[in-house]
């Protein structure tokens, strides 16, 4: 067994958002290569938005990723407002948090049902589940559509929200909109209960590797998604302005992607990181679910990121409902509706500056950073997406995992590796930072 | 009769258009009932057969590898649908063409820029023959369903060639120009039901330019507010930069 040769080469890793290859090479029981390669065509967003108005930034950068479109929008807006020194109102902030919850819910449901469940139920994709688990697929699509319908009401659409811009919202929910959204979310509770029940029956591989978990942290009682400092389970805490000291991006000669590290040789972001950092701030119902499925901080099984996503689903649903109920009680101030366009009327004062947005999106902490001139034109932009931060950690996991499962068949090893990568829910397509695979042999 | 074999493919894009499709919810079953999805990398591990009836393609062509890949897909498919602005008109990826390729590579990748193959962004119809186009960033679902039905039935689909203003007026929105901000509605192809204006924002031109803006419902808006056509045509670069490739080709001829 120890002298075994294994060569895994999974091209076009399916069921991850984007294109990745796994390459593992074991000779005589010794691990020679272990890589997660990225073959996505870089889309050069950071270069493209140079010279554009800060009021267009979110419109463009949300198109980095359709799934995290609202998250990119909010990180972009936060960076833009930070750069020009604009402070959003309390109402705006609450509505933004709401939007973030909807996206978190939507994305996690997609991931749990369509991308992970097939593995755990032993089929190749959700397509066979249409026959074997019809009710499950219907529920998944129903929940996904519910999130989408709520976003339609709040911001025009989920994929590339329309009304959420620098300064606030171009359209605010009326009483009837609040009622419609609340109805959808109340109705979703039953499906959420069924989801939790299903998830409780899923078996995750047992594997552990201690690592550093990074995400937003704060001093108040709220599970931070939109606002906070950046912290880690190794005790780091920094202002978001210092994000480059968190990510410490570096290039490794053998590998395809820029890697990130903080206190150790890699770190992880995402639902499990947030759970490990802030589990005590979750909604009571979410805490209950965590206890029921036995998820406790600090959990160091990366496969359980999916379980943490489940816990967050419950949290996001309940928090979203709470925010809407508060608005029902206190009313929405419609006078805050804004008209900005490209700010040709100068409704929002602009000054030169350098701003950072740090927002928790479904896959982990996302940074946007813009430098703008006195006219609000972008001079320099930088976006660091969660998957960029996770790739190094995934490789470290693979390096520990492969030797532990060498007694299994090639198919099983491949599947375990694919599942590991999928557990991180990587969104490779949006990566602006991945280096090309081709120069492995340079 | 066997169900038509349908495959989904993606190139440089945000995958938002395929998400729009997933957002149909349970309605998706009706669609899935009529077709046999044979390849869809993002949600399926299965790989499709050599011959497919309908290829549904998302994203822009931005690398030499992608050029080869889309040509192969064209060979495999009887019908090719390009959906989403990235595919139909180049979309936001076209903004790359505003810069010298070397400069933009350096901006993003620094000294490692030389390792990146990138070519001028092209839309799918700029590389291969396309049978159906569904514009929009993202696609407007009712239109996508309409086109898919047409494609499966072998019927033609004509992309609307009048401006967003036409729909916008039907929706009784107050015109953005009246409120003092610019809007690309007058030069942009309709079909989205003036989505953005209904939600208090301006039109950014995501569906591509109408072929003759002055005649296609824009004239009265532009005259009323005294807006020079050039000014707004210039703003179209966010989504429509790839038009320049066609214009260049036309000049050559
Ligand atoms: S057209 Fe827009 S929504 Fe569709 S894939 Fe391209 S960027 Fe995404
Ligand atoms: S210019 Fe814009 S706001 Fe005015 S009618 Fe046309 S689409 Fe509507
Ligand atoms: S209003 Fe304009 S930008 Fe908005 S969806 Fe329609 S065409 Fe696209």
What is the pLDDT, as a whole number, of residue A49?
Answer: 86
Give the model's confidence band at A343: pLDDT under 50 very low, under 70 low, under 90 confident, else very high: confident
Report, as an integer, the average pLDDT of A111-125. 76
Residues in Cβ contact with A225 at an 8 Å cutoff, skipping those fewer than 6 apart: A97, A100, A101, A104, A216, A274, A359, A360
Report, as an integer, the average pLDDT of A349-356. 95
Atom of ligand 1 nearest to the CA of B136: 1
What is the pLDDT, as a whole number, of residue A14?
Answer: 44
* A39 falls within a domain: no
The whole-model pTM stands at 0.90
* A302 falls within a domain: yes
Backbone φ and ψ of B36, nearest 5°: -120, 105
Among A30, A37, A198, A226, CA closest to A112: A198
pLDDT at B216 over 90: no
Q: Report the distance separating Cα B70 and Cα A166, nearest Å.
A: 38
| Helix, strand or coil, per DSSP, at residue B76 | helix
Are A144 and B23 inside 8 Å of each other by CB? yes
Residue in chain A closest to B86 (alpha carbons) equals: A63
* Predicted ipTM > 0.90: no
User: Ligand 1 pocket, B133 CB below 6 A?
Assistant: no
**Highest mean pLDDT range out of A274-283, B23-32, B44-53, B221-230?**
A274-283
DSSP B151: H
Burial class (CB in 10 A: 0-12, 13-18, 19+), B90: buried
Q: pLDDT exceeding 90 applies to what percent of chain A?
A: 58
What is the pLDDT, as a whole number, of residue B47?
Answer: 72
A 318-347 residues inside an 8 A Cβ radius of B: 337, 339-342, 344-345
Closest partner residue to A341 (CB to CB) among B18, B19, B182 is B182
Beta bridge partners of B36: B5
User: Ligand 1 pocket, A209 CB below 6 A?
Assistant: no
Give the model's confidence band at A85: pLDDT under 50 very low, under 70 low, under 90 confident, else very high: very high
- Parallel, antiparallel, or unpaired: how do β-strands B52-58 and B36-40 relate? unpaired
Residue in chain A closest to B42 (alpha carbons) equals: A15
Q: How many CB atoms lie within 10 A of CB A277?
A: 22
Angle at A430 between CA A316 and CA A65, to 5 degrees: 50
* A416 falls within a domain: no
Interface membership of B182 toward A (CB under 8 Å): yes
Domains defined for chain B, CATH in brackets = 5-153 (3.40.50.700), 164-252 (no CATH)
A 351-380 residues inside an 8 A Cβ radius of B: none
What is the pLDDT, as a whole number, of residue B37?
Answer: 84
Question: Which residues of chain A have a CB within 8 Å of the CB of B138?
Answer: 66, 157, 159-160
pLDDT at A307 over 90: yes
In this structure, which ligand is nearest to the CA of B144?
1
Question: Are A39 and A149 spatial neighbours (Cβ–Cβ below 8 Å)?
Answer: no
Question: Which residues of chain A have a CB within 8 Å of the CB of B25?
Answer: 141-142, 144-146, 148
Question: Which residues of chain B have a CB within 8 Å of the CB of A43?
Answer: 12, 62, 93, 96
DSSP B10: E
Lowest mean pLDDT among A73-77, A208-212, A418-422, B103-107: B103-107
- Phi/psi region, residue B58 (left: phi>0; alpha: psi -120 to 50; beta: rest), is beta
Report, as an integer, the average pLDDT of A27-50. 72
pLDDT tens digits along A183-236 = 999 999 999 999 998 888 878 899 999 999 999 999 999 999 999 999 999 999
B 37-96 residues inside an 8 A Cβ radius of A: 37, 40-46, 62-63, 65-66, 91-93, 95-96
Among A3, A5, A20, CA closest to A420: A20
Domain residue limits at A351: 45-249+259-388
Question: Which residues of chain B have a CB within 8 Å of the CB of A44?
Answer: 96, 104-105, 107-108, 118
What is the pLDDT, as a whole number, of residue A298?
Answer: 96
Give the model's confidence band at B244: pLDDT under 50 very low, under 70 low, under 90 confident, else very high: confident
Are A345 and B32 inside 8 Å of each other by CB? no
CATH of the domain at A116: 1.10.645.10
Interface membership of B127 toward A (CB under 8 Å): no
pLDDT tens digits along B57-78 = 999 998 888 899 999 999 999 9
Q: How many CB atoms lie within 10 A of CB B180?
A: 12
3-state helix/strand/coil string of B169-202: HHCCCCCCCCCCCCCCHHHEECCCCCHHHHCCCC
Domain count, chain A: 1
């Amino acid at each position: 067994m120890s002298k075994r040769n294994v060569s895994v080469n999974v091209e076009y890793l399916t069921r991850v958002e984007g294109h990745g290859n796994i390459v593992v090479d074991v000779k005589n029981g010794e691990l020679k290569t272990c890589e997660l390669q990225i073959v996505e065509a870089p889309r050069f967003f950071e270069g493209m938005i140079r010279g554009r108005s800060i009021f267009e930034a979110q419109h463009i950068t949300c198109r980095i990723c359709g799934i995290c479109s609202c998250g990119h929008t909010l990180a972009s807006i936060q960076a833009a407002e930070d750069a020009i020194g604009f402070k959003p109102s309390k109402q705006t902030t609450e509505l933004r948090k709401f939007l973030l919850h909807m996206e978190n819910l939507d994305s996690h449901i997609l991931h749990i049902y369509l991308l992970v469940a097939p593995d755990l139920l032993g089929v190749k994709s959700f397509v066979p589940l249409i026959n074997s688990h019809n009710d499950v697929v219907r529920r998944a699509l129903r929940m996904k559509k519910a999130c989408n319908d709520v976003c339609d009401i709040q911001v025009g659409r989920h994929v590339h929200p329309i009304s959420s811009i620098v300064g606030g919202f171009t359209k605010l929910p009326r009483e009837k909109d609040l009622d419609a959204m609340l109805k959808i979310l109340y109705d979703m509770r039953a499906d959420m209960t069924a989801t939790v029940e299903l998830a409780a029956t899923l078996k995750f591989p047992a594997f552990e590797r201690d690592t550093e978990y990074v995400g937003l942290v704060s001093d108040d009682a709220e599970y931070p998604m939109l606002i906070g400092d950046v912290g880690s389970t190794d005790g780091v805490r920094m202002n978001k302005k210092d994000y480059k000291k968190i990510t410490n991006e570096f290039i490794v000669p053998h590998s395809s992607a820029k890697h990130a590290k903080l206190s150790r040789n890699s770190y992880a972001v995402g639902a499990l990181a947030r759970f490990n950092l802030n589990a005590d701030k979750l909604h009571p119902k979410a805490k209950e679910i965590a206890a029921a499925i036995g998820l406790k901080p600090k959990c160091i099984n990366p496969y359980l990121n999916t379980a943490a996503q489940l816990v967050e689903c419950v949290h996001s649903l309940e928090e979203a409902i709470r925010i809407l109920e508060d608005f029902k009680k206190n009313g929405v101030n419609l006078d805050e509706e804004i008209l900005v366009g490209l700010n040709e009327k100068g409704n929002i004062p602009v000054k030169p500056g350098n701003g950072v947005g740090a927002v928790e999106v479904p896959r982990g902490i996302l940074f946007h950073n813009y430098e703008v001139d006195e006219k609000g034109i972008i001079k320099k932009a930088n976006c660091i997406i969660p998957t960029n931060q996770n790739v190094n950690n995934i490789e470290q996991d693979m390096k520990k995992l492969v030797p532990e499962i060498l007694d299994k068949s090639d198919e099983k090893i491949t599947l375990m590796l694919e599942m590991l990568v999928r557990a991180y829910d990587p969104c490779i397509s949006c990566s602006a930072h991945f280096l090309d695979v081709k120069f492995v042999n340079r | 009769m066997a169900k038509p074999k349908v495959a989904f493919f993606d190139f440089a894009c945000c995958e938002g258009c395929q998400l729009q499709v997933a957002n149909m919810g349970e309605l998706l079953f009706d669609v899935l009932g009529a077709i046999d999805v044979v390849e869809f990398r993002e949600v399926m591990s299965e790989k499709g057969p050599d011959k497919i009836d309908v290829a549904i393609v998302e994203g822009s062509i931005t690398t030499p590898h992608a050029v080869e890949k889309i040509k192969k897909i064209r060979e495999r498919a009887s019908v090719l649908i390009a959906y989403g602005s990235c595919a139909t008109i180049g979309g936001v990826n076209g903004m790359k063409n505003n810069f010298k390729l070397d400069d933009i590579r350096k901006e993003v990748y620094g000294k490692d820029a030389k390792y990146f193959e990138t070519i001028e962004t092209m839309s799918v119809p700029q590389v291969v023959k396309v049978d159906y186009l569904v514009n929009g960033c993202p696609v407007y679902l009712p239109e996508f369903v309409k086109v898919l039905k047409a494609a499966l039935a072998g019927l033609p689909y004509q992309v609307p060639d009048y401006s967003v203003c036409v729909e916008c007026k039907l929706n009784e929105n107050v015109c953005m120009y009246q409120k003092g901000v610019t809007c690309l509605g007058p030069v942009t192809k309709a079909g989205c039901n003036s989505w953005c204006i209904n939600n208090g924002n301006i039109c950014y031109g995501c569906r591509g330019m109408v072929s003759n803006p002055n005649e296609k419902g824009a004239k009265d808006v532009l005259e009323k507010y005294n807006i020079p056509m050039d000014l707004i045509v210039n703003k179209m670069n966010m989504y429509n930069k790839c038009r320049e490739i066609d214009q260049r080709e036309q000049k050559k001829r």
